[in-house]
Chain A
Amino acid sequence: MRGKDFSVEQAAGTLESLYEKYRGEKGAVIPLLQDVQEEFGYLPEEAVNWIADRLEVPRSFFFGVATFYAQFHLAPRGKNIITACSGTACHVKGSERIINFIKRDLGLTDKQETTEDMGFTLEKVNCVGVCSISPVVIINKKVHGKAAPAKILKEIKLLKKKK
């Protein structure tokens, strides 16, 4: 169950089992949220509320954690995830240029991460640690090193055709 149509009634079973998995474990908030996100592709507000209530912890505590860490997404994400590395090595090798090309291709505005049709999400990350083959773009978990705009746009084109 991914994307926009999250329903807490339908998800209750899953949430209950995740709650059980971490019950009694010290400091389990982050792994628990990581699991919820893994399950639904993002952190639906109602899911976080459900868990906070179940644990009898203020909801604000959970949202405090969720908004602190870059890994957590509070809005649904696209079907395809494009991760552009903007580490230092990638930066000096032109990652910004590639990001601009991708944005233009997908029609994303500066503040927008996900396309209107939920097809693609473009995210920037600080460094993925393969600096020697920079610039690096990861498309649906596959690493593309020495990424040239043309090569990446071709990959995106293939994905667009797939849907």
Chain B
Amino acid sequence: MAKETSIRVCMGPGGIASGGEEVLRAFGRELKKSNVKAALKKGCSMHHVGCMGLCARDVLVEVVLNGKTYTYQYVTPDMVSTIVSKHVVGGKPIKEWLVDDSYVNFIKKQTKVVLSDCGRINPESLDAYIAVGGYEATRSVLKSKTPEDTIEIIKESGLRGRGGAGFPTGRKWEFCRAVESDRKYIICNADEGDPGAFMDRALLEGNPHAVLEGMIIGAYAIGADSGYVYIRAEYPLAVERLRLALKHAKKKKLLGRNILGSGFNFDIKIKLGAGAFVCGESTALMYSIEGKRGMPRITPPRSTEAGLWGKPTVLNNVETLANIPYIIRNGANWFASFGKGKSKGTKVFALTGKIKNSGLIEVPMGISLRKIVYDIGGGIEEDKKLKAVQTGGPSGGCIPASMIDINVDYESLAKVGSIVGSGGMIVLDEDDCMVNVAKYFLQFTQSESCGKCVPCRVGTKRLLEIMERITSGRGKTSDLALLEKLGNDVKSASLCGLGQAAPNPILSTIKYFREEYEVHIAGRCPSKVCKELLTYSIIEELCKGCCACLRACSSGAITGEKKKPHRIDQSLCVKCGACFEVCKFKSVDRE
């Protein structure tokens, strides 16, 4: 039997933004023209290729011919007819358009568990998911395992929550199972509020059924009959694919009454978030589903005792849930064989910033940061010097380049003042200003603070004011001690995780980059990022008098005649940098 030819076009967010739909349509047209029976799959190759597709190399296209897979990068619609005629029909791959070695390394050095089917199967087809073993775990659990057995497997696997806190999932389920109630809920946290994180988005868009399956199994284990997916409205494609997946699953009786004839009833509803970071916090999220302002409350009682509408509720992150079917199918020991110490399994990270191979990666817990940055990530963009890696977003910290050999797991990162968090990993190079990065995160948490408790509402505001002072040249030597004192107070006195973690970016950068703060207080930003510490001036010898800067200046600070050197009036300059950008002769100096 002749092997099937198939073509996979990346249709993830990056793929679509880079013209994936046009490429897909071009393939459709060309294939019809040349009469090839190729299965056009909308498989999200970006995941399969570790999301490298999302970045520089989209649109990625995989051609599977005679059992061999070829990956094309930077595909545009006008390349499609050549790929079809020469390769798909003619059998000769076009070497210049194929991916290179760094890409191969990027794929090879990863370990895919939750992402194993992402990017390979059509996320809009239930059959495609079933063909790779999907819903087998549901079937086996409903048919031959008690809820207690199921919880035991998850406990043994060592799976911990991937949403940030790392709470053991099996134990959370067990708590909820033990509570007597007429009604229980399971909620999937798809709020993904950390800026710089897109793991959950990619999972929901690339393999929505795995998440649903995790929810069904979780619901069975704790005894819930209804569930919610709380998803951010900023992810329209994920919402669309999730809706479709729910529809298909209901039709196949994988959801609804008497699932697969087992007598178990369970249904899932989608709730769209409305843009509040704090709603990722569990109690706030539940208030938001109830239609209220999402303001966290004091715990206990925990959500597993009194959650949504006062009923026992389990909240799990998207990635946590997507791991469940794979654990049930392959066994607890298999899962626990990945990872180190108390951090079992794999973790998906969104590797971004100044890194060559920016994208979504999945690695065993406990892998060294060096391997992530250099082997998988391919090193720093433009071969610049690594300065730090920021993990855990606004709740996390910076790991300085000197600690590059650290193991990436819950315990090791906590020890150095950062967290694994939900999986954002932002690589910073020598041009990045650590004070600015810390200020950035604080601006974020300060504006997202719900305002309920004073330490967070007022504390983050004061911290931000000090940071603004330092980055605008008005810093005082005593500010560092003040930041540390106030930061620790906010941490210990805030009501919820938002305030408790908000000072982390500041505290960790002070710890590792103290001298950078001191230079700022002395009035200079060595990375030339902090606007107010810069001075723009024109180097007369280089200025050709072309008037480009004069035209670009919106504050009228630049004067000068044609063909004669221009001048910048410092009292009028607003430091927007427009002159610096437009000068073709490098005659604008920035210091």
Interface residues of A (CB under 8 A from B): 26-31, 33-34, 64-65, 68-72, 86-89, 91-93, 97, 100-101, 104, 125-134, 136, 143-145, 149
Contacts and interface: CB of A to CB of B under 8 A. Distances in A.
Nearest 9 CB-CB pairs, A to B? Answer: A88-B196, A70-B275, A29-B291, A69-B274, A132-B54, A129-B198, A132-B55, A87-B195, A127-B195
A143 B437 contact: no
A155 B72 CA distance: 29
A132 B359 contact: yes
Contacts of A27: 289-291
23 contacts: A65-B293, A68-B276, A68-B294, A70-B274, A87-B195, A88-B353, A88-B424, A88-B441, A89-B196, A89-B352, A93-B353, A125-B234, A125-B275, A128-B234, A129-B201, A130-B198, A131-B54, A131-B198, A132-B14, A132-B51, A132-B55, A133-B18, A143-B13
B184 to A, nearest CB: 16
Contacts of B55: 132-133
B426 interface: yes
B577 A97 contact: yes
A126 B274 contact: no
B197 interface: yes
Given A64-B293, A127-B234, A129-B201, 6 more contacts: A68-B276, A86-B195, A88-B440, A126-B448, A132-B350, A145-B17
Pick from A72, A129, A134 the residue with the most CB of B within 10 Å: A129
Contacts of A144: 17
A129 B393 CA distance: 13
Given A72-B274, A127-B195, A132 B358 contact: yes
B388 to A, nearest CB: 11
A140 to B, nearest CB: 13
Interface in B407-426: 424, 426
A100 B289 CA distance: 36
Given A27-B291, A34-B272, A104-B554, A133 B195 contact: no
Contacts of A143: 13, 16-17
B94 interface: no
Contacts of A134: 352
Nearest to A143: B17
B426 A133 contact: no
B288 A30 contact: yes
B576 A104 contact: yes
A104 B277 CA distance: 29
B362 interface: no
B397 to A, nearest CB: 13
B235 A131 contact: no
A128 B12 CA distance: 13
Contacts of A97: 577
B17 to A, nearest CB: 4
Nearest to B235: A129
A132 B352 contact: yes
Interface string B556-584: 00000000000000000000111001000
B276 A131 contact: no
B39 interface: no
B577 A30 contact: no
A92 B353 contact: yes
Contacts of B201: 129
A133 to B, nearest CB: 5
Nearest to A87: B195
B426 A130 contact: no
A133 B14 contact: yes
Nearest to B390: A88
B233 interface: yes
Nearest to A70: B275
Given A30-B288, A130-B13, A130-B54, A87 B196 contact: yes
B276 to A, nearest CB: 5
Given A133-B14, A143-B17, A69 B426 contact: no
B197 A92 contact: no
Contacts of A130: 13-14, 17, 54, 198
A115 to B, nearest CB: 16
A134 B14 CA distance: 10
B432 A92 contact: yes
B284 to A, nearest CB: 10
A43 B576 CA distance: 35
A128 to B, nearest CB: 6
A68 B192 CA distance: 18
Nearest to A96: B531
Given A88-B426, A92-B354, A143-B13, A131 B196 contact: yes
Contact of A100 (B58, B359, B576): B576
B175 to A, nearest CB: 24
Interface in B364-417: 390, 393
B3 to A, nearest CB: 32
